[in-house]
Structure 1
Amino acid sequence: MSIEYPTKDVEKGAQDLEDTDSIASHPDVNDSEIDSTNSSSHPDILKTSIQTQANKNSIGGALTKVLTARSNASVRDPGPPPDGGLNAWTMAFMGHFVVFNTWGMISSFGVFQTYYTTELGLEPSAVSWIGSMQMFLHFFLGMFSGRALDAGLFHWVVIPGVLISSLGIMMTSLCSQYWQIFLAQGVMNGIGCGLQFSPAMSLITTYFNKNRSLAVAIAASGSATGGLVFPTIARQLLPKIGFSWTLRVMAFLILVLGACYCSILKPRLPPRRSGPLLEPSAFKELPYTLYVIGMFFVYAGQYFPFYYVGAYAVEVIGVPYSTSVNLLMIMNGVGVVGRLIPSFLADRKFGPQNTLIPFAFASALVLYCWTEVKTEKGLYAWAIIYGLCSAGFQGLFPSALSSLTKDMNKVGVRNGMGFSIVGIASLTGPPIAGALVQRGGGSYLYAQMWGASMILIGGVAVVLGRVSITG
């Protein structure tokens, strides 16, 4: 006796099971689509399911697409840098606003140094730690944010940087104690600046070759214009609307400018997804290593006058607070000329490192001479000369660092490493100078000698690095 199996039913069941497995395992099929298959006889349920899924994905998906599209260049090789043209120079000028928001704000800390010591009665060394923490994070985070540029994540770090920086200054307006100011202005603003500076500067270098030093100087001169605008805001608004609202005005300015350059800056090179966060092999290159060591010593001593020239004017020369702000504005303002002209000469004749070296030694010499400045007129003259010398060095520092990287796909990570080491010097330099002022009983002699000597040592290291290239 034989049993007849329902062959057609078995085959249909096997086919149904196969289709179910295919649907369940398909990567492009989601729950809403399965539900719509099961409810095909109910059009209202199907319509509601599709709309719910679309609404859930629309916001996050749109944001991801916009940021990814803005952060990524074409995957194709774009060829050599344009080295000019409307698009390239626009990137340089947008970089100017990045540095205006970041380094311009930080270089204006002398206004806050004087205010916190005279109005709040805080110790100079303690106040210096606020500014130094800003500088440290501004440079040190370049190790991470610079790699983000190489990985095609430019806007994923720059946009949060703008928001955090603006929020940090806004929160500072609510602070009344030292630890609160340190966290808001020192840490939050420092993090925001660090997320923006390194990727923006590295991005600009990818658009230029022969005109790279000039383009970077245009961007770097944002520290000079920021160093004029922010102290001017403080001088004009502090007596009228008070400390809190003055800082809020600064925060809103940072936010508006940040929205402008975030919408325009665009990476040129295709993303390099793979690759380490650090490239230790760079330190096997003697020119790179000596250059970074030189930058460490120079930056340890060079920014001390920007923090303390106002306090020196008030405490030693005896000028009013408004005059001390003018000195800082002059020192920052001459930086526009001090950055652009040397960088133009570097592109046309001498090269960035050859042009940078004399400004390092000139800065050291002028800082040694600060000990002999005893009058208000003399301090004005000294501020102009030192501002020019230090600006020539600062404007060429990023382009000289980029010139030591031959593979521009690695410029973000290598520049970020260099900036991070400079950040450590920026963290320790001004507080050491402040401690020396306190140890000298209010005398600036020890700090002046220390700062000038640090710059001198750094200049020697840069010379040795240059010699290792030329022989």
Structure 2
Amino acid sequence: MSGKTSSPAPHGSSGGSEKHQEDIEKRREVTEQPLPSSTSDNEQDDDDDDVRDTSNLPAQDLERMSTLGTVLSRLRSRRSAVIEPPPDGGLRAWMVVFSTHLVMMDTWGIINSFGVFQPYYMDKLNRPPADISWIGSFEVFLLFFIGTFAGRLTDAGYFRPLYIVGVILVSLGTLMTSFCSTYWQFFLAQGICVGLGNGLLFCPCMAVTSTYFAKKRSLAFGLTAAGSTTGGLIFPSMVRQLLPQIGFAWTIRSIALIQFATLILAGFFMKSRIPPRSAGPLVEWAAFRDLEYTFYAIGAYLAFWSTYFAFHYLAAFSRDILGMSYSSSLDLLLVLNGIGGPGRVIPAYIGDKIGPVNVYMSCTLVAGLIMYCWAVVDSVTGLYVWASFYGIAVGGVQSVFPAGLTSLTADPQKQGTRMGMVFTIVSFATLTGSPIAGAIISSQGGKYVGAQVFSGTSMVLATVFIAAARAVKTRKTGLAIFSLAKV
């Protein structure tokens, strides 16, 4: 039996085989080229090893891998695109600051002016101080509480819808306040509706502003926070002048009109700079593994537990203890808010030089000590002096707080989420602080000493935790805890 013999190769098969082998080698060289990636070198080496192990693959699979490698290269290039650094100035950036200044005027300006409404509501509704405080406190609570949701949605690219809904709620809530006549109506309109609108405006606007600045971030926040001073001067002045002439209802409607017009103006210039980050959790629990972030959150809670006590009760104190008239008591609020303008900008400017956490820690300590001094004020002149000093100190507490917080977050795409998380924590402090102080005043038969000591102690304890956050941060940077480091 004769064995089978292989047929002779067709003419030119040797040359075709060589050309085919060259094509395989070229494709293999393409797949061996490293892909651009934002991953670490170790991960890239692993990927290269996987790609290079193609010696036994047929030509068709090699061609597919070559195409896949090209696609992955493009995807990785897009994903690893470096976010442009903050401009730290320029017309667009400063117009964002101006717009956020207007937003702060229409949100925090009203909150800082609640002392105008506190004695008026107490007389009109015949309710104790603690009950009236719940209206203002709930307004601040919602502003901070929905920060987690608003901040995360801002990171995901929904800043514009949040802003539009916020403008509608703030304007509508203020307008509906003019039609209220009972306690629960005021609570729903001014406490809940306006509070929700404030929350949809405040955290997103602060998060967007933070992405435009790095070296000048504290100054930018100080200028935006000065908007609360602008509102704190405009709105009490309006109430003082218009209330006797046109009544409560039309005074509030005038305020609503100003809010709506200025918020619409601000909306034209507010624009997010960072690309959306659609992936990621609503709450980044890993942030609390950073002790400096956790200590800072606790310190902010304690600071805001007492921050708004004076804004809510200064006018009532002047009437109840010193016998001042209603119109004269409003002058004290104008001083407290007006002097707070430099108190917001100057500490913020210094924060860019020596570090926002350092300045925030100093402001809380000074504000706490000044709060203790309120307990010994027994004259109208002394109260004006006290309001001036406290306005400067508490202005720094309010303006430098977000700058210190963002300095603890390196990733700009997480600014909104991490800022919103602390805002939500702080919301419970603003919700309970003034009502607790009001309850202490009622339990002491109208005396304010207990509430003043409570507020001062809370602010001093805040300093301790902020100092702890600073210590952890300096340790991580390799510096001594008590060094004069910029933090």
Residue of structure 2 in register with 1:329 after alignment: 334
Which of the residues 268, 286, 302 maps onto 2:291?
Answer: 286
- Give, as a single letter, the amino acid of the residue that structure 1 aligns with 2:364: A
CA distance, structure 1, for counterparts of residue 278 and residue 362 of structure 2: 39
Residue of structure 2 in register with 1:417 after alignment: 421
Using the TM superposition, give the Cα deviation of residue 255 of structure 1 relative to its aligned residue in structure 2, in angstroms.
Answer: 0.5
Which of the residues 210, 222, 228 maps onto 2:215?
Answer: 210
Residue of structure 1 in register with 2:188 after alignment: 183
Using the TM superposition, give the Cα deviation of residue 78 of structure 1 relative to its aligned residue in structure 2, in angstroms.
Answer: 4.7
* Aligned residues of 1:77 and 1:269 also touching (Cα < 8 A): no
Query: What SS does the corresponding residue of 1:317 show, helix, strand or coil?
Result: coil
Residue of structure 2 in register with 1:166 after alignment: 171
Count matched residues: 396
Using the TM superposition, give the Cα deviation of residue 120 of structure 1 relative to its aligned residue in structure 2, in angstroms.
Answer: 3.0
CA distance, structure 2, for counterparts of residue 110 and residue 180 of structure 1: 19
TM-score, normalising length: structure 1:
0.83
CA distance, structure 1, for counterparts of residue 111 and residue 320 of structure 2: 22
- Give, as a single letter, the amino acid of the residue that structure 1 aligns with 2:359: T
Are 1:244 and 2:215 matched, yes or no? no
Which of the residues 79, 101, 110 maps onto 1:105?
Answer: 110
Residues 409-438 of structure 1 deviation map (CA, whole Å, 9 limit, x = unaligned) = 000000000111111100000000000000
CA distance, structure 1, for counterparts of residue 379 and residue 123 of structure 2: 21
* Aligned residues of 1:297 and 1:455 also touching (Cα < 8 A): yes
Residue of structure 1 in register with 2:368 after alignment: 364
Which of the residues 150, 154, 161 maps onto 2:159?
Answer: 154
Using the TM superposition, give the Cα deviation of residue 468 of structure 1 relative to its aligned residue in structure 2, in angstroms.
Answer: 1.0
CA distance, structure 1, for counterparts of residue 418 and residue 189 of structure 2: 29
* Aligned residues of 1:278 and 1:417 also touching (Cα < 8 A): yes
* Aligned residues of 1:77 and 1:270 also touching (Cα < 8 A): no
Are 1:257 and 2:262 matched, yes or no? yes
Residue of structure 1 in register with 2:72 after alignment: none
Residues 149-200 of structure 1 deviation map (CA, whole Å, 9 limit, x = unaligned) = 1111001111110110110011111110001100100000000000000000
CA distance, structure 1, for counterparts of residue 365 and residue 411 of structure 2: 30
Are 1:297 and 2:297 matched, yes or no? no
Residue of structure 2 in register with 1:233 after alignment: 238
Superposition map of 1:32-43 within 5 A: none
- Give, as a single letter, the amino acid of the residue that structure 2 aligns with 1:136: F
Moved over 4 A (4+): 75-78
Using the TM superposition, give the Cα deviation of residue 118 of structure 1 relative to its aligned residue in structure 2, in angstroms.
Answer: 2.8
CA distance, structure 1, for counterparts of residue 315 and residue 125 of structure 2: 16
- Give, as a single letter, the amino acid of the residue that structure 1 aligns with 2:325: P
Cα 1:447/1:275, change in 2 over 3 Å: same
- Give, as a single letter, the amino acid of the residue that structure 2 aligns with 1:415: M
Residue of structure 2 in register with 1:44 after alignment: none
Residue of structure 2 in register with 1:438 after alignment: 442
Residue of structure 2 in register with 1:355 after alignment: 359
- Give, as a single letter, the amino acid of the residue that structure 1 aligns with 2:401: F
Residue of structure 1 in register with 2:322 after alignment: 317
CA distance, structure 2, for counterparts of residue 259 and residue 296 of structure 1: 32
Using the TM superposition, give the Cα deviation of residue 296 of structure 1 relative to its aligned residue in structure 2, in angstroms.
Answer: 0.3
CA distance, structure 1, for counterparts of residue 126 and residue 370 of structure 2: 30
Residues 227-258 of structure 1 deviation map (CA, whole Å, 9 limit, x = unaligned) = 11110111010000000111000111110011
Are 1:145 and 2:150 matched, yes or no? yes
* Aligned residues of 1:76 and 1:270 also touching (Cα < 8 A): no
Residue of structure 2 in register with 1:60 after alignment: none
Query: What SS does the corresponding residue of 2:440 show, helix, strand or coil?
Result: helix
Residue of structure 2 in register with 1:447 after alignment: 451
CA distance, structure 1, for counterparts of residue 196 and residue 471 of structure 2: 36
CA distance, structure 2, for counterparts of residue 279 and residue 261 of structure 1: 30
TM-score, normalising length: structure 2:
0.80
CA distance, structure 2, for counterparts of residue 312 and residue 334 of structure 1: 19
Residues 271-326 of structure 1 deviation map (CA, whole Å, 9 limit, x = unaligned) = 11111111111111000000000000111012101100000001100010011111
Residue of structure 2 in register with 1:399 after alignment: 403
Superposition map of 1:262-281 within 5 A: 262-281=267-286
Using the TM superposition, give the Cα deviation of residue 148 of structure 1 relative to its aligned residue in structure 2, in angstroms.
Answer: 1.4
CA distance, structure 1, for counterparts of residue 289 and residue 387 of structure 2: 39
* Aligned residues of 2:173 and 2:190 also touching (Cα < 8 A): yes
Residue of structure 2 in register with 1:339 after alignment: 344
Cα 1:163/1:76, change in 2 over 3 Å: farther
- Give, as a single letter, the amino acid of the residue that structure 2 aligns with 1:301: S
Which of the residues 114, 120, 131 maps onto 1:115?
Answer: 120
CA distance, structure 2, for counterparts of residue 323 and residue 420 of structure 1: 36
Superposition map of 1:42-81 within 5 A: 78-81=83-86
Query: What SS does the corresponding residue of 2:378 show, helix, strand or coil?
Result: coil
Residue of structure 2 in register with 1:199 after alignment: 204
Query: 128-137 vs 329-338, which deviates more?
Result: 329-338
Query: What SS does the corresponding residue of 1:80 show, helix, strand or coil?
Result: coil
- Give, as a single letter, the amino acid of the residue that structure 1 aligns with 2:274: L
Residue of structure 2 in register with 1:93 after alignment: 98
Residue of structure 2 in register with 1:464 after alignment: 468
* Aligned residues of 2:125 and 2:183 also touching (Cα < 8 A): no
Using the TM superposition, give the Cα deviation of residue 224 of structure 1 relative to its aligned residue in structure 2, in angstroms.
Answer: 0.8
- Give, as a single letter, the amino acid of the residue that structure 2 aligns with 1:212: R
Using the TM superposition, give the Cα deviation of residue 223 of structure 1 relative to its aligned residue in structure 2, in angstroms.
Answer: 0.7
CA distance, structure 2, for counterparts of residue 420 and residue 377 of structure 1: 38
**Unpaired stretches in structure 2, ≥5 consecutive residues:** 1-79, 476-487
- Give, as a single letter, the amino acid of the residue that structure 2 aligns with 1:420: T
* Aligned residues of 1:117 and 1:123 also touching (Cα < 8 A): yes
* Aligned residues of 1:107 and 1:227 also touching (Cα < 8 A): yes
Query: 232-241 vs 75-84, which deviates more?
Result: 75-84
- Give, as a single letter, the amino acid of the residue that structure 2 aligns with 1:322: S
* Aligned residues of 1:302 and 1:452 also touching (Cα < 8 A): no
Residue of structure 2 in register with 1:129 after alignment: 134
Larger Rg: 2
Residue of structure 2 in register with 1:67 after alignment: none
Residue of structure 2 in register with 1:380 after alignment: 384
CA distance, structure 2, for counterparts of residue 358 and residue 125 of structure 1: 30
Instruction: Please provide the CA RMSD for this pair.
Output: 1.1
* Aligned residues of 1:360 and 1:393 also touching (Cα < 8 A): yes
Using the TM superposition, give the Cα deviation of residue 89 of structure 1 relative to its aligned residue in structure 2, in angstroms.
Answer: 0.9
CA distance, structure 2, for counterparts of residue 186 and residue 411 of structure 1: 27
* Aligned residues of 1:342 and 1:392 also touching (Cα < 8 A): yes
**Unpaired stretches in structure 1, ≥5 consecutive residues:** 1-74
